[in-house]
Every structure is written in structure tokens, then in C-alpha cells.
Amino acid sequence: DVKVTQSSRYLVKRTGEKVFLECVQDMDHENMFWYRQDPGLGLRLIYFSYDVKMKEKGDIPEGYSVSREKKERFSLILESASTNQTSMYLCASSSRKDTEAFFGQGTRLTVV
Amino acid sequence: AQKITQTQPGMFVQEKEAVTLDCTYDTSDPSYGLFWYKQPSSGEMIFLIYQGSYDQQNATEGRYSLNFQKARKSANLVISASQLGDSAMYFCAMSRMDSSYKLIFGSGTRLLVRP
């Protein structure tokens, strides 16, 4: 079974903290994605990566950065967390050959 | 730029009836893929169906079919014989099919199946 694992299910952080969200996949997928999901807005793409050390901005990259030093791991970094970054964060991965993306269980981040 | 639009925030359907969820898209890429995902209240994302831009026939997977109209840039999901377990959020998505594979989603449609 394909597995995409996000490091935390729930996270509470303080405003101004640096926050790391980790995502690991075990299927040797080239592509990895970070989304945030907010009611009424669907899934919005923050960053994606199509190879190790390769990354591209999605539609809402402001306030976020990413790191992909190894193929299986894609990290989302909130440099200085703010309350408007309170959201559900979803990681996904896919192969160039496959037509389906596989999702992690999500991290619900609350910034107080 | 790519864009996905789902104009129905919520829909009701009677059990055992068919329902169509709308999706329109915009892209200048010649090669792209279209997807539908289901998200039940548990939060997991479940892949339902895929259509490639060069596929001649509409995709079908069991009770799900994708009504692909390329000229109109629409990729509607049709669910036949609705079941109570079909109540969920449904997301339409689109990908570029080149070396920089970008996958974007619409805002979703919440479907409620009435008994």
C-alpha cells in the first residue's frame, strides 16, 4: 500500500514561532505537494516539488517555504507563524507514471 | 495559468438517483489530466476517476463517470444510483502533464444524499 505520512495530526503553535510540517512517502514518488484546506476554498497549492531539491511555488506561497533534500521527504516551513495560517495542511505525492496522487492524513495546525 | 472552478457549493440528491457535479477548467497546456476526489467526513482523500486530455472516450469507474467536453472545458462527475455513503465533499482537480507536474484543486461541492 502506498503510504504518505505526515508527522503530526494536530499541532498548536504560538504566533511568531518557526513551524516545521514533515511529510514522508514510501513509494519512490517524484512529485510531492503541500496544500492547505479551508472551508469554502477547497485545497490550495502552497508549494510542489517534482524532484529532489527542485521546488516551485504554488498559488499561495507567501509565508511558507519548503525543503526537499531527500526524495521521500518534503517539509513545509512556516518561518514565523501567524494566526491566518491556522488551517488543515495536506501533503500528497504522485509518480510521473501514475495518474493518481496519494494523500497524507492531514495536519490541523492552530496558531494562537 | 491553470484554474479549476466548481460552482456548486452544496447539492442534495435522493438515494438511488443520479447526480452531476459540475467542474470547469482553464489551461493553456496541450496535455493535462483531470481528476475527481472524494473527501468523507473522516477527512481522507479518495481518488475516484481520471481523464487524460487526449483520451477519446469518457472515463468510467463503477458508478462514477466523467463527462469530458474538451471544447467547453468541462469535466463533470456523474454518480449513478446514489448511496447514503456518497455523502461527502467532492473535489475536481487538474494536472499539467509535463516534467513540472502541478496539481491544483477546485473549491469543492458538498453532496448530501437523502434517504
Write out the three cell numbers for A106: 492531514
Chain B CB contacts of A106 under 8 Å are 43
CA distance B111 to A78: 33
Which pLDDT belongs to residue A98?
66
Kindly state the average pLDDT of the residues A21-31.
95
**What integer is the mean pLDDT of A85-102?**
89
Render pLDDT for B93-109 as a digit per residue (tens, 0 to 9). Answer: 999 877 667 899 999 99
Using a CB-CB cut-off of 8 Å, the residues of chain B touching A101 are 35, 47, 93, 103
DSSP calls for chain A? ---EEES-SEEEE-TT--EEEEEEESS--SEEEEEEEETTTEEEEEEEEEETTEEEE-S--TTEEEEEEETTEEEEEESS--GGG-EEEEEEEE-SS-S--EE---EEEEE-
Q: In percent, how much of chain B has pLDDT > 90? A: 86
Q: Which candidate from A50, A59, A88 shows the least CB-CB separation from B101? A: A50
Predicted local confidence at residue A65, as pLDDT: 97
The answer to whether A98 faces chain B, any CB pair under 8 Å, is no
Q: For the segment B60-96, what is each residue's pLDDT rounded down to a tens digit?
A: 999 999 999 999 999 999 999 999 999 999 999 999 8
What does the block give as the cell for B38? 472524494
| CB spacing of B9 vs A40 below 8 angstroms | yes
